Structure 1
């Protein structure tokens, strides 16, 4: 079985960051930490003008939180620390001075939807349906919902958060503003992402930095807000309802 990883390479001023986990690209604490650090490093690298964020494999983009870790949480502080991993990735993306292009090849769930929503420009295949499944296990999309709400609006975010058992199609996500475009194949997606990134590299980096500040205006409190949200999730994961539900996934 291939080991989880976060890797990146820089070519022609484009940093491509890729994360992978054998369990449908789910995100345990160590992968979340590596991902946040890698995004920050790429953002601070003067050689980098644009970042592409992707996951490994041809199927699921991201299955969200690691169920193994969720099941193992036995106190509120551990729960808060785990969910803070998603907060740290979102905040790293928010503060990154470079545009981040999302490349979403397949289904994405929970925290994965939050990561897609935190990119500055996101492209997907027709297979990239989305689901916020947190309510299914007795929690809620507390940490990721600010990012999703910012991109798609309260109405769309609350719809998928309440209807926690349904995958919403990629074209629905495009209509709501999550995806800029949807492609028939991964090959078409990769070609479009690469071409777009190369085109962005021809623009003034200072202008792109100032634009990014404008796009994320009003999110200065997210360091505190997302930490508070992580604490809510950390508390709810200890509830009897959630503990009983998670046992079924063992």
Structure 2
């Protein structure tokens, strides 16, 4: 059976799993094996998502599962994103997660963020939980690499208030290194920004996406979608398979100035 969740369009045999390790074929149907399987749950500052211009100063209950449809060698959460942790996860139903989020409202919680791994590979859980959360007046945030299909995006878009979307570079070779698709991410950003609050994050990796020319093209394109989209330029640190030195802070400041030629809100992170 063909999985149409993302650009990979995996042909999954009966009993097998897709590239993401989370979608499987059972009884002739593609299903999210990670539905409701939570590996990480924390009450985070909204700025950690990162969202700068969406309810600043608030908290949000952040939930993560396992699996990812990219292979970034510097992944900060590779322990959950690049593994199948079904047996080491805890099942939390949509109703239970919403109830947990409501419990923390008196402490400043505004809702639920789907994050840590790539949440869109389990979009059915986002959809089912977000519907319930919206009925309770809770906000819904999705932190994603943006490589899901537009058909899948439409399934959740009515109930999502904000996205942070990774834009890992602005050339096809960058995305090929990570088993991704630049065009899919661009389409995802454009559609999401038409309906919800969107902020974009670009992790600056030395030698991959750190040229001023690439940032200029990227920022100009984002401005063509909406010049007020906040862009977060964040610092690479060695993790998992990558051992390169952290991004030079001076270069990050230079790239910020380049992006500010086109965008009204450009923030530096991890400096």
TM-score, normalised via structure 1 length: 0.38
Structure with the higher fraction of residues in helix conformation: 1
Query: Is the radius of gyration larger for structure 1 or structure 2?
Result: 2
Larger RCO of the pair (alpha carbons < 8 Å, separation 6+):
1
Structure with the higher fraction of residues in strand conformation: 2
TM-score, normalised via structure 2 length: 0.35
